[in-house]
Structure 1
Amino acid sequence: MPLYKTITPNSQTTVKIWKITESYNELFQSVNLKPKSLERVLNMKSEMHQRGFLSVRMLLAEFGYNDVDLHYDKNGKPYLKDGKQISITHSFNFSAVIISDSIVGVDIEKQRDKINIIAHKFVDYEFDYLIENDTNYIKKLTVIWCIKESLYKLFATPGLSFKQHCLVIPFSEEDSETVSWIDYHEKKHCYISHFLEFEGFTCAYVIA
């Protein structure tokens, strides 16, 4: 299946989501990879990761870019050669790319009960408003994780902690956005964070 969803939060920003239904071979034959990317994908041990990597290149094509236009800095943050800002994510059979004139971050995660096991590692303030026996508890944890992961990608600063430096203001199941903060080295940064759900997955994105 080609493009699954396109979101345009503003005139300078677009999010595109891909549902990965193609086989590895179908995806591989549909993209042109530079030597470094070819080596990277061939050395991946998981076919799921290979398909995720290749589906991101399919999304780049939807934006009018090729693999040669995408690069990574010393911290692993992706960037485009034309100066546009980009963030990338994939989880199981979904991937997403956000491109903007502003600094951005995006994340997709599958909603799974196992997130409760690691909640103490990325949740602090948010426990004040989370209710563990709430039927939407896992979904809310996943939203919080996705927003914090998006903040982490956007901020791209070594040492930033999900638990210590990122916080997400309370939100309800009906909401599609909330306020989030990065409180790092005595500087506070406020962001409107957007999120949506589809087919048991959560996607969040943050625009600076």
Structure 2
Amino acid sequence: MPLYKTIQPNLHTKVLIWKIEETYDELADGIELTDNCINRLSRMKSEIHQRGFLSVRQLLKKAGYTTSDLYYDTAGRPHLKDGNYISITHSFIFSGIIISKQTPIGIDIEKQRDKISVIAHKFVGYEYNYLTDNDINKLTVVWCVKESLYKVFATEGMSFKQHTKVLPFDLEEGKTFGWIFYCGRIQKYKVEFLEFDGFTCAYAIEV
């Protein structure tokens, strides 16, 4: 099974990334599928989404959990029954999870595509101080960071452009800070990111 990367940002947090190369049946092998999982899979029209869903359950298994240990609240946010924090992402041939015993976290993986420059104005505000619409890789990092911030903050009505800021960063360093300013609340996050096989992954950890 292709567990692609394991990253340990700190003693209490682990990131697991899966490269999806198996068939549906291979990914389903050895994991428990609850009735809810079976229903969700049956509603997915794309096999790549089905395989992504199953690969996340394989990641849970690698982390020592069963499928039934994971549940979702009414806002669609994932939780673990033991109280640990979890965030989940899937993009094309990669999926990932981040689990923390102590701190709220968020993760996102995105494919690097030129078309991100077309929609950049919808999610980039402050960040135009240090990048342009031609900076495809940096724009992808910013999108991943903001998606991670949204997942960890998980508050309806948040705007990527208005309520989040990503501080200047170097691609080579692979780290930055993100801020959320929303309805009088201010929260800082340590962010790490990496690039691989034409994809970008970022994960945010509450400071």
Give the TM-score of the pair, scaled to structure 2.
Answer: 0.96
Distance in 2 (alpha carbons) for counterparts of 1:31 and 1:38: 12
Once the two structures are superposed, residues 34-77 of structure 1 have per-residue CA deviations (whole angstroms, 9 ceiling, x without a partner) of: 00111101210011110100000000000110110000011111
Distance in 1 (alpha carbons) for counterparts of 2:79 and 2:177: 25
Runs of 4+ in 1 over 3 A off after TM superposition: none
Distance in 2 (alpha carbons) for counterparts of 1:174 and 1:91: 23
Task: Structure 1 unaligned segments of length 5 or more: list them.
Answer: none
Taking the TM superposition and a 5 Å limit, the aligned residue runs for 1:96-115 are 96-101=96-101, 102-115=103-116
RMSD of aligned residue pairs (Cα, Å): 1.0
Distance in 1 (alpha carbons) for counterparts of 2:29 and 2:19: 17
Distance in 1 (alpha carbons) for counterparts of 2:198 and 2:3: 18
1:173 deviates by 2.0
* Matched residue, 2:23: 23
* Matched residue, 2:193: 195
Distance in 1 (alpha carbons) for counterparts of 2:164 and 2:30: 39
Distance in 1 (alpha carbons) for counterparts of 2:43 and 2:133: 41
Taking the TM superposition and a 5 Å limit, the aligned residue runs for 1:167-182 are 167-182=165-180
* Matched residue, 1:11: 11
Distance in 2 (alpha carbons) for counterparts of 1:150 and 1:131: 21
1:207 deviates by 0.8
1:191 deviates by 1.1
1:114 deviates by 1.1
Correspondence 1:147 to 2:145: yes
AA at the equivalent of 2:83: G
Identity of aligned residues (%): 60
Distance in 1 (alpha carbons) for counterparts of 2:167 and 2:205: 16
Question: Conserved in 1, the CA contact under 8 Å of 2:107 and 2:148?
Answer: yes
Higher alpha-carbon deviation: 162-171 or 172-181:
172-181
Distance in 2 (alpha carbons) for counterparts of 1:164 and 1:132: 18
* Matched residue, 1:138: 136
1:196 deviates by 0.5
AA at the equivalent of 1:52: G
Question: Conserved in 1, the CA contact under 8 Å of 2:20 and 2:95?
Answer: yes
